[in-house]
Amino acid sequence: MTRVWNPDNGDGTYTNPVLYADYSDPDAVRVGSDYYMVASSFSNAPGLPVLHSKDLVNWTLVNYALKKLPAPRYEKAVHGCGVWAPSIRYHEGLYYICFPMPDEGLYMCTAADPCGEWSEPVMIYEGAGRIDPCPFWDDDGKAYLVSGVAKSRTGYKSVLHVQEMRPDGMGLIGEPVPIFDGNENDQVTIEGPKFYKRNGWYYIFAPAGGVKTGWQTVLRSRNIFGPYEYRVIMRQGDTDINGPHQGAWVDTVTGEDWFLHFQDVYAAGRIVHLQPMHWANDWPVIGIAAEGNEYGEPVRTYRKPDVEGTGASHHDVGDKDEMITGNAADSNQTSLDRDKEHQELKWQWNANHKESWGNMLHGRVTLNAIKRDSVYGDIPNLLLKKWEAPEFDDLFELDLSDLEESDEAGVISMGMEYGLVSFKKAGGRLWAVCVYGWQHFGRILCESTEERITDIVELPSDIKTIYVKYVVERTGSRDLNSNEKDFPEETVSIYYSLDREEYTKAIEMKSVPGRWVGVKYGVFCVSDRMGSGGKAYVT
């Protein structure tokens, strides 16, 4: 069943989503014939993923803008905090990423090459509560920033602000001006604003109505500080693409307009869709509008963008060489020559990385056994990656030959409910330990975690290599918001084998996402004692 989602149908059409992976709050920019996308990364490190495409359908993860999150607290896992919705822009030879950390402030970093080294982030606003910033450079050389607010930090929501920004993007000028209050306009929870200009109009694209049940709104004004009029430009309508939420307007070299946004599918997170877009009386319409409607509805399958031969793209966000097309899970399976460097980019740590934790080299992961002083879900050196298909399996080969007494290594499925199997050396013996965990969140932070060991099995003490299979299967559907739209329900199972032939089921659980993120899964190596010197190797 090992599969990776492929949206390109190979016949000039594509099927949404273009990314069946948790790249939430996407923003994108075109420079020449190249598209670059960024997305939220929360408390995982490295942060701020950068993806590249030539055709808006096939995307490759090429970089991270942040090696570490710029605050000391992220030496530990701080689930749901960290890097929220970023924006990416290009101005006078530099790429800019502006990103919020809702408890710390707003930051800016730059790069001449988005695939190369990004500058250390500069805090352009210090303080909690401002989120979803997007910079804009006007024709007269002046610069501005639009942003939203997080109710969890400020006590109110649904208000957008515009503030003048230094032309170099490295600071703000004056005070933020409130330009739209969604509480007064049936646009509650308006957030994620993106700034543009066209035909003398200033436009702010922003979703409203909530992640799972909302819609896309656009504001426009002849004056950057307003007043702004507004219109809903895309709704879910009769489709099964709920949300549809927060994204980016981009064009092609041939003059077409397109819109990238996400859909929340619960456990798999917030997956990315591509919609056609057109203009009517200086208002955008996203998706396909039914007769008489000013708004569009999302498409599932559509023709690919006309990029006029600017170069072929290939889909490189998965880890396996079997691809499934978006509209036919059992057809068009293809082998791809995968770049190991790109595969290593798929991994993120549960907190800011320390060199003492280990490394990834030539497709092999070396994990050092650091002392465990927390529940498993808070281990900072969890090495995790995203789901990248509706159903899939992944096989890990764990080399335990260098584990020492009191060391353990294993595989975890990480969400607000998690499960893991760990292989521990204790008393001169080797044990398989199965654990389930449940995180309980308050307004902002995880306030407590329950863990329960469900099984302990003694294994032959001379075993050096164990094979662990991680399996995700669609087993039904669930209703999360009483609007009669079904969300996928998946079962996660973890099996282990001593010979790669007979497997024992260690974990079976219904999937539950993490705090604002989809389920991640991966590996770890820890110890009951400091400085054990033990290691585990993963391929």
Task: Output the DSSP codes for 189-238.
Answer: T----EEEEETTEEEEEEEES-TTT-EEEEEEESSTT---EEEEEE--TT
**515 & 432 share domain:** yes
Q: Which residues contact 247 (CB under 8 A, 6 or more apart)?
A: 26, 27, 28, 192, 194, 205, 207, 216, 259, 260, 261, 262
Q: Quick check: is 1 in a domain?
A: no
| 361 compared with 114, residue with greater pLDDT | 114
Radius of gyration for the chain, computed over Cα atoms and rounded to the nearest angstrom: 23
Q: What is the pLDDT of residue 483?
A: 56
What are the φ and ψ backbone dihedral angles of 115, each rounded to 5 degrees?
A: -90, -5
Q: Which domain holds residue 112?
A: 35-314
Point out which residues pair with 459 in neighbouring strands: 430
DSSP-assigned letters across all residues of 369-434:
-EEP-S-GGG-TT-EEEE--SSSEEEEEEEE-TT--TTEEEEEEEESSEEEEEEEEEETTEEEEEE
pLDDT at 4: 80
* pLDDT above 90: percentage of residues in the chain: 89
Percent of residues, the chain, with pLDDT higher than 70: 92
Give the pLDDT score at 418.
98
Q: Are residues 163 and 295 in the same domain?
A: yes
Annotation marks residue 191 as catalytic? yes
- Tell me, yes or no, whether 397 and 445 share the same domain: yes
Model confidence at 109: pLDDT above 70: yes
Average pLDDT estimate for 269-285:
98
Return the sign of the alpha-carbon dihedral for residues 207, 208, 214, 218.
negative
Mean pLDDT of 350-375: 94
Interatomic CA distance for residues 472 and 193, integer angstroms: 34
* Confidence (pLDDT) at 342: 66
pLDDT tier for residue 17 given thresholds of 50, 70 and 90: very high
Spot the catalytic one: 25, 132, 316, 378.
Answer: 25
Active-site annotation holder among 22, 55, 104, 191? 191
The answer to whether position 398 is within a domain reads yes
Predicted confidence (pLDDT) per residue in 60-107, tens digit: 999 999 999 999 999 999 999 999 999 999 999 999 999 999 999 999
Alpha-carbon gap, residue 236 to 304, rounded angstroms: 21
Indicate the pLDDT class of residue 8, thresholds 50, 70 and 90.
very high
* Residue 485 or residue 467, greater confidence: 467
Query: For all residues of the chain together, what is the average pLDDT?
Result: 93
| 433 in the same domain as 375 | yes
155 and 246 both lie in a single domain: yes
- Of 329, 273, 262, nearest to 16 by C-alpha is 273
What mean pLDDT comes out for the span 245-252? 96
Asked if 116 and 174 sit in the same domain, the reply is yes
Helices and strands of the chain, counted as H and E runs: 2, 39
By CB atoms closer than 10 A (0-12, 13-18, 19+), residue 26 is: buried
pLDDT of residue 453: 97
Residue of 361, 219, 195 whose CA lies nearest to 283? 219
Tell me whether residue 132 is in a domain: yes
Tokens of residue 248, six digits: 């980016």
Question: What is the number of structural domains in the chain?
Answer: 2
- What pLDDT is attached to residue 461? 87
* 308 and 411 both lie in a single domain: no
Domain membership flag for residue 456: yes
- For residue 484, pLDDT over 80 is answered with no
Please say whether the beta carbons of 203 and 195 come within 8 A.
Answer: yes
Q: Is 189 left (phi over 0), alpha (psi -120 to 50) or beta?
A: left
Q: What is the structure's pLDDT at 346?
A: 94
Residue with tokens 């397109």: 258
Q: Is residue 478 part of a domain?
A: yes
Structural domain ending residue among the three candidates 292, 314, 336: 314
Segment 370-381 shows an average pLDDT of 97
Is the predicted pLDDT of residue 146 greater than 90, yes or no? yes
Same domain? For 450 and 534 the reply is yes
Would 524 be classed as within a structural domain? yes
Are 369 and 270 within one domain?
A: no
Instruction: Give the pLDDT of residue 330.
Output: 37
Mean pLDDT of 189-202: 98
What's the CA gap between 457 and 316, in Å, rounded? 38
Q: Tell me, what's the pLDDT at 331?
A: 34
Same domain flag for 292 and 364? no
Residues 225, 132 share a domain:
yes
Is 341 a catalytic site residue?
no
For residue 169, pLDDT over 70 is answered with: yes
On whether residue 511 sits in a domain, the answer given is yes
